[in-house]
A and B are shown apart, each in its own frame.
Chain A
Amino acid sequence: MKRRDFIRQTAVFVAGAAMSSSAMVMFDPKQVLAQRPELRWGFLVDTHRCVGCGFCVKACKIENDIPIEANVTRTWVERYVIKQDGEVLAESPKGALNGFTNKRIDQNTSGMIEVKDEDVAQAFFVPKLCNQCETPACVQVCPVGATYQTADGVVLVDRKWCIGCGYCIMGCPYGVRFFHPKEHVADKCTFCYHRIVDGGDTACAQACPFGARKLGNLRDPDDPVAKAVLYGRVGVLRDEYGTKPQVFYLGLSKEVH
């Protein structure tokens, strides 16, 4: 090999290697988070207060331009009916867009089932939405960097960058992601980011007549939600997945997943 060639090839190799390794620098999230410790959005759901009216689902769909009749939604409410004999029935017709207006429970292939009042041990409603996890599985699986977490903890989707591969929809343990029928990209609850950054409330929390949904700053010790999470007895959904969900529930029972 000529000396000239050797130098040229080495230069090309070094340049190439330098470029690719610069894209691989790892940051320690904890170190980065410590730089902005004053704001972390969290959510508190009080299942005792939820009456299943579904106004939250309606408000969310309108506020966020999710086609109202399409069978996808960023938030939904489930009805649980637990019978005296321990059988658990759960349903969420249209995500509870129109609430729960009768006693019949949709059990898919088994049809509509009506449980007699005297057979009911417990019956209640559980609102669900994106948990804005501290270590979101949906973000890790995105191959193009179209979904990410902001410094204040909200997981967003870049609609211009999303290629619609659907990995994140599969990756979310809570099933909160879906394919937007009009935008043709992955979509999910944003905690109404456009409202909360201006000091507003999320559309669902504002619409709830009974205060079953509350948004708060988990880093503010005087915040009612932060207090409930710190001092109250709260639970989270599917803790075993290790995603560290940041939506906390009061009155969660073991039948709810």
Chain B
Amino acid sequence: MKNHIWRPLYVVLAIVLLILMFRAFYVPEDFGIQDRGYTFGFHRLSNEQEWKEFPDKYRGSSYCEGCHYDKTEVFATSQHGMMQCENCHGAAFDHPEDPEKLNIDRSREQCLRCHSQLYTPSSGRSDIPGVNPEEHNVGIECSVCHNPHNPSLEEM
């Protein structure tokens, strides 16, 4: 066969080889077909470990118990006992080292997430006593009158 056919073919082969060599260096060793097969599992295996090491921020209410026992004790048996402390105070991160104090959100919006009166007949929302935010003591933070950790109306 003629040279003018072979020459471009050599060039193409050289390019393919180069790409394969680049690929061999660039693609990590653990990249490949993992547990879920080629269609769903083609990936870099060490990424699973990277996700596992993602830092936690929320600690759960049992973590608070050790230091804020006065709060957790009343709170647990109150009408609000099903909530997590961190719902209202934000994620603990490494509290009390960092941050030293958690946020205290006294905004009306915080409480209105559950207590704003809506009409939701086919939802658990209708079991929560609601107030109309445009009528119930407008402009005053709820915690001025209600104890967020023990909201019982009898103990107001």
Query: Which of A's residues lie within 8 Å of B, judged by CB?
Result: 1, 12, 16, 19, 24-29, 32-33, 35-36, 47-55, 58-59, 62-64, 98-103, 117, 120, 122-125, 135-136, 139-140, 145-151, 156, 158-161, 190, 193-195, 197-198, 200, 203, 206-207, 209-210, 212
Contacts and interface: CB of A to CB of B under 8 A. Distances in A.
B123 A120 contact: no
Interface stretch (B66-74, B78-86, B136-144, B147-155): B78-86
B38 A26 contact: yes
A1 B40 contact: no
A207 to B, nearest CB: 6
B6 to A, nearest CB: 9
Given A62-B57, A122-B122, A123-B123, A149 B86 contact: no
Contacts of A210: 82, 124
7 contacts: A32-B36, A139-B40, A150-B36, A151-B34, A206-B60, A210-B82, A210-B124
Nearest to A118: B119
Contacts of A195: 56
A194 B54 contact: yes
A209 B123 contact: no
Contact of B1 (A1, A24, A33, A103): A1
| Range class of the B interface residue count | 35 or more
B109 interface: yes
Contacts of A29: 36-37, 39-41
Interface in B39-70: 39-44, 47-48, 50-58, 60
